[in-house]
Amino acid sequence: MSETAERTRQIIAEYLDVDPAEVTGESSFAEDFDLDSLAKMELVIAFEEAFSIEVGDDALDSILTVQDAISVIEAARSELPTLTT
């Protein structure tokens, strides 16, 4: 599991106050964790702060599962400028 995936799962587990083992890639935010759109937005804000990224509003609607969140985070991180020395 990638560092991004593991960190994302930890953030979700902390936010939901659940055991990280309960957070799988297939877990649905709406069905498995009963998150409404406001709670999902708060979670996305936590991702943005933790990873120093920006998730667009259009991407918010595509985040239905934990794996969706990981994919959006990885895509946003890949768009960050890299520092060269």
Q: What is the CATH classification number for the domain harbouring 58? A: 1.10.1200.10
Alpha helix stretches (DSSP H) within 1-85: 3-16, 37-51, 57-60, 66-78
Q: Specify if 40 maps to a domain.
A: yes
Q: Specify if 33 maps to a domain.
A: yes
The one-character DSSP state at 32 is: T
Range of the domain at 26: 3-78
Q: Specify if 58 maps to a domain.
A: yes
Q: Specify if 85 maps to a domain.
A: no
pTM, rounded to two decimals: 0.88
- Please count the residues of the chain: 85
Residue 70 confidence class, pLDDT cut points 50, 70, 90: very high
**Residue 81: predicted pLDDT:** 66
Q: Specify if 27 maps to a domain.
A: yes
Q: Specify if 74 maps to a domain.
A: yes
Q: Specify if 83 maps to a domain.
A: no
The least confident of 6-15, 53-62, 64-73, 75-84 is 75-84
pLDDT tens digits, residue range 19-38?
999 999 999 999 999 999 99
Give 40's contacts (C-beta < 8 A, 6+ positions apart).
29, 60, 63
- Bridge partners (DSSP) listed for residue 28: 65
